[in-house]
Every structure is written in C-alpha cells, then in structure tokens.
Structure 1
Amino acid sequence: MTRRPSRLTLLETSGQKLDIRAHQRTYQGAYIRTCLGCLSFSLIVLKLFTAQFYHIGLVFNCYGLLICGIAYLRSKNMDLYFHGPTREIECFKTSGNVVLWLTAISLGCYITLLTLISRL
C-alpha cells in the first residue's frame, strides 16, 4: 500500500508555499465569499419580505450551505490537488469534479428559484 505524501513533505521551498497560499486565497476565498453572500441574502429575504418569499430565502439558504460544504471538502483535500512521485510539485490536478458539482447545484437552485418566482 503506497502512502500519499503529506502536505509537509510537498512544501519545502518558499515558492511552493506561495503557490499554495495563492491557490487558497483565490479559490477557497471565493467559495467562502459566495457562501456568505448567499446566506446573508437569504437572511435579508427571510427578515424583510412577507411569507410569500420565504421559499426563495430558503432556497438561497440551502444554496449557501451547499457551497460552504463544497468549500470545506475542497480545503480538506488540498494536498490532493498538488501531487507528484517526488518531493517536487510536478503536476497540478484540476478541480473538474468540484466545478461539476457547483454547476449541478447552481442549476438546480436557479431552476427552483425561477419556478418559485413564476408562481408568485
């Protein structure tokens, strides 16, 4: 059974650490900002509007929580995105699965929002 290298064995130079920090700041920060934006908008809808709009606020709440879950899973598996047989970072694994999940979740939420708005 082969052991995958830990984060500490991959990050030996300051350039590698800088790349990881830039990657986290760009992508994970975007997920967290989107999550917080959706959750705060859902709170505004739930507090300011009438009971007719509660379903719309709940859809945004679920959307924000799902994005928060994806951000957590992505940060948990950060060392899987940079891998190589040696201690050097040789290739970058794209986050295609995360993009597919976000696309499916977004489409589902937007279709739900359009149907709820059309019923008003």
Structure 2
Amino acid sequence: MNENLVVKRIYEPASEEDGIRILVDRIWPRGISKDKAQLDRWMKEIAPSTELRKEFNHKPERFEEFKEQYIKELQGDDEKKVAIQELLHMIGEEKVTLLFGAKDEVHNQAVVLKEVLECEVEI
C-alpha cells in the first residue's frame, strides 16, 4: 500500500492532506461545483469507457467483471497508459487523491485504478 495514493468521494470536503486532487470520472459528478471540487486535474482519459461504465452501472454483483475489463482497458489503451505514467510520476513526488463520484466507496473505478497503480509502484 502506497501512502502517497488515496481514493476519496468528491463529495467529501477537500483537505490539505489530499495533496494533488484528481477526478478520475468521465462524467462530471452531479451537484458539485468546480469551486467546491477544488480539483488540480480532471483525467477523463483514464476513466472507464462509456460502454464499460454503462455495462457495470454501479451494480456490485458486476464489479469483478467490470474490474477485469477496466484493467484490460488500462493496459491496452495508449492514452490510458500515458495517464498511468503521469500518475505514477506524481505519486513519486507527492500525495495524490483519486476522486470519484460514485456512492459506493468499494465498487468503483478509482478503487481499481488505485490497485493498478500500487502494483505498478511495487514492480
């Protein structure tokens, strides 16, 4: 586990401990202003494809399949690979908080992305 990498719902208040705040959703979260979000970056390109997101539809029983497919997207898409390298560089420099809008704090793309990034750091 990397202490420089955490996940957090975008609806939780921003904190100085967040470090670099990066939204990893393809769609802007409902009901949150850009001011309140206090983002440093919005990395839409690293989010799951629209097709995968709609197929998953935040249903916990579909999470394992979603996770597997999302990891394949992360490994097979050049734009996503570049974004992963950028994130790894940032994590090496300072704390990074991956922000997501989903209500489910366990079954979402930010959790998968964190796991992938932690595996990359360990290699």
TM-score by length of 2: 0.28
Structure whose alpha-carbon radius of gyration is higher: 1
Q: TM-score, normalised by structure 1?
A: 0.29
Bigger share in helix: 1
Greater relative contact order: 1 or 2 (C-alpha under 8 angstroms, separation 6 or more)?
2
